Structure 1
Amino acid sequence: MDTKAVFAALYSVCEENATFFSAGGKVSQADSAKRLVESMKLIQEHARSLEPVISGFAAIYHHFDFDPLIPANGYRSLVKVVRCCLLHIIHKGRYIAANRRSIFFRAAHNAGEMEAYCSALCQLRALLYLAQRMLHDNSHGNLFFQDESGLSESFIREYASMHKGCFYGRCLGFQFTPAIRPCLQTIAIGLVAFGENYKRHQSGIGVAASSFFTSGKYAIDPELRGTEFERITQNLDVHFWKTFWNITETEVLSSLASMTSTQVKVNRALSVPPVAFDLPLAANHRASATIAPPSAHIGIAPIQMRLISYDLREGQDSETLLSMSRSEGGAISLSLGLKTKRLPSSPFLLIHFHGGGFVAQTSKSHEPYLKSWSQDLGVPILSVDYSLAPEAPFPRALEECFYAYCWALRNHHLLGWTGEKVCLAGDSAGGNLCVTTCMRAAAFGVRMPDGVVAAYPATLLTAYASPSRLLTLMDPLLPLSVLSRCLSAYAGSEPQTEKQVERVSTLSLVKRDTALFLRDFRQGASNWIHSLLDSNRGSAAPSTAPETRRRLSPPSSSHMEFPLGFEPLRSDQFAEMKLQSSPVFKDPFCSPLLAPDSMLKGLPPIHIACALDPMLDDSVMFAKRLRSVDQPVTLCVVDDLPHGFLSLSQLSKETKEAANVCVERIRAVFLQDTPPEPRKHRKLERTDRGVSAPSGERGSLLVGSIEEEEPAVGREAKSAVGEDSVSVTAQNNTDAGGVGA
């Protein structure tokens, strides 16, 4: 959609509504009408300043793309998010224009909606000014400001003080496909409710129970949710995030996930003894390298893994493997009938490293999509449960992943694998470990994997600023303060222990939880009733309220200078952000983007999948680095999905299709005898239909390329912009031996 048309539509609808409500509108809703007028005028002011900035970016951001067929980088992402916000405002403005004379029109509610998006637009305007600074100061084509002082330091300070709650209330996930917004809202509600009860109980079940009781008020009051979300993400330590992200591994939730996911014949948790062994060198099979067991930080200990196989294959029920099996809460990890057929060993093996910011989750968290992959590909999967930070910082996880890879090569007969082809796959932190495991294999001179599939990998762990990392200001899954704590823990800069929580008796727990439930039920019901009946009560503070004026106070000397007359909204409490400059971050085995050319040459073909994600620039720049040293690399960008889309793959058609892209890349690694052509991508058909097209319900998914961005903004905003049509050709697994034709 043409950018000029977007701004023209915005000015028109804002002017029309401002004129109507300025003329009196409904006298009974005068205060809300005043708020609407002020919001509309302020939105127009922001838009007039943003229009030339966006046009400026549109003229140059192609210089930062990986390839003309794959127009993707952080500058494009920022412009896309701004356009998405404008389209939501246009739709909401048209809704107000169509319903403002109705007796059922809730002026206070709609004023709250417009104020929320007005605040979001203000903060996005600040981010674009920061991106302009990056564009001015960076070298041509480089997306990272490679200095931890200056601009990167300014970005950290701005993030610590800028108001972020507006992105986690009514506007939560507005930049993503509408299919996953309910899921993101559920996660946010669960997060703030969990944060309210964190450290009140010794038992994780008690925290989860109390969180359930208190979640109602956050579902009803989005502004309260946004405020609390901002507080939690700014101030709670890495141990909170470790605990929250591991909720999915509690017995009840993991059992539920297991019942709803693909049923496999083999799902065995393994504990491999830490024994040194020799592995032949790739260049000379008569010589060998000794693979010592991991020993960093926590000493020598067994390496934990999980073997998943849709079919039972030879060796997977051997006595040797059975002796390594570990119990998981009494559950049986091998589901076999008396007449289960044992298939021959597969020529292919997938080794998986899970994500979780190096601090949380295990293979069990990622079981649902791994089971699906095992069925789709017809291959066994070995997922590594590496030790987590802060108890086991770098390089412990890398040591364990490399040891597990070498152990799989040496013991292929136990895994139902012939030892022919092996692919590494991982997401986020796991993507980092896939690449660094290959670099470590090169350093030891042992066999390389046949390929790597990395989803939204972290390839640069320093605090260098980039345009896509500006998205951490609004990302519901990867805020900068959370990301920095995880990376600090991996570098060994975070404390390994947390304060002991107060022990509470079971009886007092039940009594207090009941009291909390009754209190929050009353409060939630009261809020809901008032939002319906009280026309003077806005869901958000008016744009001229004292609180907002305080946030608009003049910048201090610690903040960067914005254009005259503009200042972003400021938070009431600053984030506890520290600029980490640990030398660990610059270790090539920690940040592979910083590796010298000599360490990147000789790596296997690497296939990268990324999204509308703060890590996008990591992927684009790493792909450029690999291409510059003639390494086979492909880059796929899935549109309108967040970081972590693999873990959401069962929730929507869009996330499922994005996960299938990774499956296709893995299949390509197994089936191609020669490395794939660099930069070869599937072009998806796409049509745009203009401003007045009929509304549509589904979001768009664009794999392999991003056309000039028109965001998926949901059923509401589609009435303002029309619907994108995308056709996807799926590959079917037709090979009985696995992997497909």
Structure 2
Amino acid sequence: MDARPLFQSLQALAEDNASFFQRSGTESGRRFAAAFAALREHGRRLEPALRHFARLYHRFDLDEATPGNGYRSLVQTARCCLAHAVHKSRYVAAHRRSVFFRAGHNVAELEAYCAALAQLRALLCLAQRLLAHNRPGCLFPPEEDGLSELVLREYSTMHNGCFYGRCLGFQFAPSIRPFLQTIAIGLVSFGENYKRNDMGLGVAAGSLFTSGKFAIDPELRGDEFERLTQNLDVHFWKSFWNLTETELLASVASMTATQVGVCRALTVPPEPLELPLAADPSVTVTIAPPVAHTGPGPIHMRLLSYQLREGQDSAALSALTRAEGPRAPLRWWRGPPLPPSPALLVHFHGGGFVAQTSRSHEPYLRGWARELGAPILSVDYALAPEAPFPRALEECFYAYCWALRNCRLLGSTAQRVCLAGDSAGGNLCLTVSMRAAAVGVQAPDGIMAAYPVTLVQAAASPSRLLTLLDPLLPLGVLCKCLSAYAGGVGGSWGGGGGGDTHGRLGLGYRYLGLGDTRGWLGDDGGAG
């Protein structure tokens, strides 16, 4: 796409508006003139940079039918920010003489986009270093040249507050911005009350009284968001993300979600399992229970099924069912059980390896159960930092093997088994599949990994640079989560935002003893 008309419009509007406000002699006029001068300079510097990237970024596409990679995303984000600046400049030019023109608000908007463009220019400079070192088709620099460490060190000094104030979510559709603003306001309000009250709803209730100032002052919200992402530890993020686990919010979500015939919380004892080998069913292999860090312990799971099926009402399954408040395990289903489903879905929830459970993901899983007509087993694996790698992988692999061994209790014949998970859960889908292949048991027939974490080690890539303006999971937060999970194994940086098409899974290969930790697997994904 030719960006010249965009730059020409920006230059013309900036010159016209700057000339107009330079004559006003007021404080707001001086701010307007300075903002438009900065916009003009940003446009002048960005045009050759974007033109340079546009000539080269096609070399990093997966193939001709997949025109997407982190360099393309960076360029598109910069163009989107420029388009917003042009729109605001055009609005100012059309309304600057009106008595209803809000000078303070509009100049603050322009200053915010100037700050955003300054940071995007810095990102493009870092991306230029990567582009100069990366071979065509490879989105990561050679590990021996130290470029990743240099880029990530410089990246860590950049300011991202402007992307969480007035420019929050500018790169997305306008319909999603109110949702992102609600999340950001809730986060900074929660952070202000985090150390003053007890955990859970105590902090949430206190946050309601302080959220107003962050709603009306975007600059304050952006500064506070930046402080939180840089200074607070993983326990803060665990507490914030676990708000959805409180009894009140979980009950409200449960009432509004699809009703299902079966919803049972299960506790499976840590006992060795015997499974046949996929290549030779006459030979079995023993699957040991998880032991990393804390020794053998029970595995917690949740069984969801839209229809009641044979096995799901058995005494054997009832013996594994644990009480979960007043919620009855059987819902609206009446009549005899249906035959077992040939399909089974095993689900691993997201949450950065540090937060959430199957209960917080239950509302959408109920809808899946209805639409798929198959049982869903969602695994509550142990969370970091209390249970770092490889505990979660051990528990998820054991749960997968237990599901194969006891599929009849779950209402399935397990003829077709699919793994599904988002973010950290996507990582576990991939690593469980790899371990199944390494052990030789039945591999899943399909994997649905949504924005999975596929590189848990220090490495820079263009899409990871974009996490500077990620409204949900900035790189600093992502690093805290992955460091809590991987510790010295994965390094202090990892997981990037979506975009790069050649990610590496690292931890899974190393843990399974499959050799090269740099095998190419797919998207470099994101965590959360």
Q: Is the TM value for this pair above 0.5?
A: yes
The aligned residue for residue 269 of structure 1 is 265
Gaps in structure 1 of 5+ consecutive residues: 495-576, 601-605, 609-616, 620-641, 645-741
2:506–2:517 CA contact under 8 A, matched in 1: no
The residue aligned with 1:162 is 158
Aligned mates of 2:321, 2:182 — CA distance in 1: 36
Cα 1:199–1:162 shift into 2, 3 Å:
same
SS in 1 for 2:159: coil
2:442 corresponds to which of 447, 453, 464? 447
Structure 1 equivalent of residue 249 of structure 2: 253
By how many angstroms is 1:154 displaced? 2.1
Residue of structure 2 in register with 1:467 after alignment:
462
Q: Are 2:14 and 1:108 aligned? A: no
Q: Provide the residue aligned with 1:4 in structure 2.
A: 4
Output the amino acid matched with 2:484: A
- Provide the secondary structure at the position in 2 that maps to 1:458: coil
Structure 1 match to 2:222: 226
1:241 aligns with 2:147: no
Q: Secondary structure at the match of 2:320?
A: coil
Contact 1:148 1:463 in 2 (8 A): no
User: What is aligned with 2:19?
Assistant: 19
Q: Equivalent residues in 2 for 1:276-675 (5 A)?
A: 276-337=272-333, 339-492=334-487, 586-589=506-509, 596=516, 618=524
1:270–1:304 Cα contact (<8 Å) kept: yes
Q: Is the CA contact (8 Å cut-off) linking 2:480 and 2:492 kept in structure 1?
A: no
Listed one character per residue, the Cα deviations across residues 44-100 of structure 1 (whole Å, up to 9, x for unaligned) are 111111111111111111111112122111001101110110111111111111211
Matched residue SS, 1:245: helix
Give the whole-Å Cα distance in 1 for the aligned partners of 2:16 and 2:323: 66
Whether the 8 Å CA contact 1:354–1:383 is kept in 2: the answer is yes
CA distance in 2, matches of 1:164, 1:590: 34
**1:282 alignment partner, SS class:** coil
State the Cα distance separating 1:276 from its structure 2 match.
Answer: 0.6
Q: Map residues 682-701 of structure 1 onto 2, 5 A cutoff.
A: none
Answer yes or no: is the 8 Å Cα contact 2:230–2:476 preserved in 1. Answer: yes
What SS class does the counterpart of residue 307 from structure 1 fall into?
Answer: strand
Which deviates the most, 287-296 or 193-202? 193-202
CA deviation after TM superposition for structure 1 residue 394, in Å? 0.7
Q: For the residues of structure 1 that align with 2:235 and 2:35, how far apart are their CA atoms?
A: 40
Aligned residue in 1 for 2:502 = none
Q: Deviations over 1:236-272 (max 9, x none)?
A: 0001111111101111111111122222111111111
> Please, which runs of 5 or more residues in structure 2 have no aligned partner?
495-504
1:162 aligned counterpart, secondary structure: coil
Shift of residue 457 of structure 1?
Answer: 0.9
Which residue is 1:720 aligned to?
none
Counterpart residue identity of residue 340, structure 2 = S
Q: Deviations over 1:478-532 (max 9, x none)?
A: 11111111111111359xxxxxxxxxxxxxxxxxxxxxxxxxxxxxxxxxxxxxx
Q: Which amino acid aligns with 2:159?
A: H
| Structure 2 Cα separation of the partners of residues 589 and 189 of structure 1 | 40
Which of the residues 162, 178, 202 maps onto 1:182?
178
Q: Distance in 2 between matches of 1:599 and 1:84?
A: 34
Q: CA deviation at 1:366?
A: 1.4
Q: 2:85–2:110: 8 Å Cα contact kept in structure 1?
A: yes
Residues in 1 aligned to 2:428 and 2:362: alpha-carbon distance in whole angstroms = 18
Do the aligned partners of residues 598 and 66 (structure 1) sit closer, same or farther apart at CA in structure 2, a change above 3 Å counting? closer
Which amino acid in the other structure matches residue 412 of structure 2? Answer: W
C-alpha separation in 2, matches of 1:365 and 1:222: 29
| Contact kept in structure 1, 2:482 and 2:492, CA below 8 Å | no
TM-fit CA distance, 1:591: 8.9
How much does 1:4 deviate?
Answer: 1.3
Query: CA separation in 1, counterparts of 2:453 and 2:459?
Result: 13
Identify the residue that residue 40 of structure 2 maps to in structure 1: 44
How far apart, in 1, do the equivalents of 2:144 and 2:172 lie? 30
Change (3 A) 1:597 1:243: closer
Task: Report the alpha carbon displacement of residue 196 of structure 1 after superposing the two structures with TM.
Answer: 0.6
Q: Please tell me whether the aligned partners of residues 188 and 228 of structure 2 are also in contact (alpha carbons under 8 angstroms).
A: yes
Deviations 1:571-608 (A, max 9, x none): xxxxxx9669xxxx94444699x9649988xxxxx9x7
* SS of match in other structure, 2:196: coil
State the alpha-carbon separation in 2 of the partners of residues 118 and 356 from structure 1: 34
- What SS does the corresponding residue of 1:161 show, helix, strand or coil? coil
Equivalent-residue separation in structure 2 for 1:181 and 1:12 (angstroms): 29
Task: Give the counterpart letter for 1:187 in structure 2.
Answer: I
Q: Secondary structure at the match of 1:323?
A: helix
Residues 48, 134 of structure 1: CA spacing in aligned structure 2 closer, same or farther, 3 A cutoff?
Answer: same
Q: Deviations over 1:287-344 (max 9, x none)?
A: 110011101011111101111111111111111111111122332232145x345222
Secondary structure in 2 aligned to 1:286?
coil
1: distance between equivalents of 2:470 and 2:347? Answer: 26
Aligned to 1:532: none
C-alpha contact 2:279 2:440 (8 A) present in aligned 1: yes
Give the distance between the partners of 2:8 and 2:399, measured in 1 at CA: 58
Q: Aligned partners of 2:467, 2:61: CA distance in 1, in Å?
A: 21
Moved more, 114-123 or 199-208: 199-208
Letter in structure 2 aligned against 1:206: G
Larger RCO (CA within 8 A; separation ≥ 6): 1
Q: Secondary structure at the match of 2:344?
A: strand
The answer for the alignment partner of 1:515 in structure 2 is none
**Aligned partner letter, 1:48:** R
One-letter amino acid matched to 1:463: A
Contact 1:279/1:410 (<8 A) preserved = yes
SS at 1:123 equivalent? helix
The residue aligned with 1:555 is none
Q: Distance in 1 between matches of 2:108 and 2:517?
A: 53
Q: What is the SS of the residue equivalent to 2:156?
A: helix
CA contact (8 A) 1:145 1:151 kept: yes
* Cα pair 2:424 2:527 within 8 Å, conserved: no
Question: Using the alignment, how far apart are the partners of 2:209 and 2:488 within structure 1?
Answer: 35
SS at 1:462's partner residue?
Answer: coil
**Alpha-carbon distance in 2 for matches of 1:445, 1:597:** 20
Q: Shift of the alpha carbon at 1:201?
A: 2.1
Mapped contact 2:344–2:375 kept (Cα < 8 A): yes
CA distance in 2, matches of 1:343, 1:67: 46
- Alpha-carbon shift at residue 199 of structure 1 (Å): 2.2
- From the superposition, tell whether residues 95 and 598 of structure 1 become closer, same or farther in structure 2 (CA, over 3 Å): closer
CA distance in 2, matches of 1:71, 1:46: 27
- Contact 2:397 2:435 (8 Å CA) reproduced: yes
Letter in 2 for 1:262: T
Pairing 1:200-215 to 2, within 5 Å after superposition: 200-215=196-211
Partner Cα distance (1:199, 1:266) in 2: 40
Structure 1 residue 363, shift from structure 2 partner? 1.0
Aligned-residue CA RMSD in angstroms? 2.2
Alignment check: 8 A CA contact 2:352 2:527 kept: no
Aligned to 1:563: none
Q: Structure 1 residues 424 and 325 mapped into 2: Cα distance closer, same or farther (>3 Å)?
A: same
Match of 2:19, as an amino acid? T
Q: What SS does structure 1 have at the residue aligned with 2:52?
A: helix
Which amino acid in the other structure matches residue 431 of structure 1? Answer: G
Do the aligned partners of residues 85 and 341 (structure 1) sit closer, same or farther apart at CA in structure 2, a change above 3 Å counting?
farther
Give the superposition deviation at 1:643: 7.4
